[in-house]
Amino acid sequence: MKDVATPLLAIVGPTAVGKTAVAVECCLALGGEIVSADSMQIYRHMDIGTAKPSPEERRGVPHHCLDLVEPDEEYSVARYQRDAEAAIADIHARGKLPVLCGGTGLYLRAVLHGLDLPIAAADWDLRGRLEDEAQRLGAEGLHERLRQVDPQAAARIHANNVRRVVRALEVYLLTGRPISSYHRLDRPPCAKYNVLAFGLNRPRTELYRRIDARVGAMMERGLLEEARWLVAHGYSEQLTSMKGLGYRQLTQHLRGELDLDAAVYLIKRDTRHYARRQLTWFRAEPLLQWLDLAAVGDAANAAGAVCDAWRAKRA
């Protein structure tokens, strides 16, 4: 019987591992287009700090799910799921191969497993009350409330991430279900896709060197000026977008709270910590086949291995 599922190649991994280079090579070889799975690259005007691939890096390969919203717009996982699925359907309808590429674990899981995402829209009154509660009780107090109703979510969400703690409590109070029940790891792959998924990694010391070098390159390309432009145009540090790596630390510098060297040090340190969390998330994903980029040599060799596996799967 002819396979009616949409073919989908996924290439994921921690920040700075080299996903884009491998994905672009695969697209050039297989006739593909990239669907980004990055929760920061959805924002317009935030190009350097989010490591959006340049026109030269894209090498003529179309990229989807970039620059979808302004930095002060709300954007949910449910909305990403709709946007990514629409892009995948469009790419496939034109006879091209959709290649999902990124490092935001929940975005990838939303597509690969067709998550049963919470349908509750934002309730701004409830959210305001929860934020007021966080002010009264402190971040730890609100986190303890979440732990009582959803210990799995509390274990995954840091107490200092008040925005996500508030959203988890909001979903529970509006739907009667803990938010962790929507994100179960044992949910089977989405039947609408015929997926081959690769996780890319490097030895930790090499990955950390690449992170440090990329942060340095971002600063040379004008990351500080990009952050200054965002602040000058009224984008508040309270926005989700402005809490992203790089922007948060440079906003502190622009307020006079950190000197520039300290801000850059914190960007590098916090990005390394983020990469560790990404790897923890991806190692729990059963669909992934892992590829060590240091062992295969370079992006072209890695892409060759991925393309060979894809062709064998489709034979």
Q: Which domains does the chain possess?
A: 6-115+187-314 (3.40.50.300), 124-183 (1.10.20.140)
Please indicate whether residue 304 or residue 179 has the higher confidence score (pLDDT).
Answer: 304
What's the pLDDT at 135?
A: 86
pLDDT value, residue 238: 85
φ, ψ of residue 223 to 5 degrees: the values are -60, -40
* Residue in 306, 312, 315, 281 with CA at minimum distance from that of residue 32: 306
Q: What's the token pair of residue 184?
A: 């179960």
Name residue, tokens 């699925």. 85
| 157 pLDDT higher than 90 | no
Lowest average pLDDT, out of 116-120, 214-218, 241-245, goes to 116-120
Question: DSSP of 190-223, one letter per residue?
Answer: PTTEEEEEEEEE--HHHHHHHHHHHHHHHHHHTH
Contact 67, 47 (CB under 8 A): no
Tokens 């989700």 — which residue?
240
Rounded Cα–Cα distance for residues 248 and 229 (Å): 14
pLDDT above 60: residue 77: yes
Terminal Cα distance for the chain, rounded: 14
Q: Which pLDDT tens digit goes with each residue over 170-179?
A: 888 877 788 8
Q: What is the mean pLDDT of the chain?
A: 91
At 2 the pLDDT is: 47
**Which tens digit of pLDDT belongs to each residue from 249-295?**
999 999 999 999 999 999 999 999 999 999 998 998 889 999 999 99
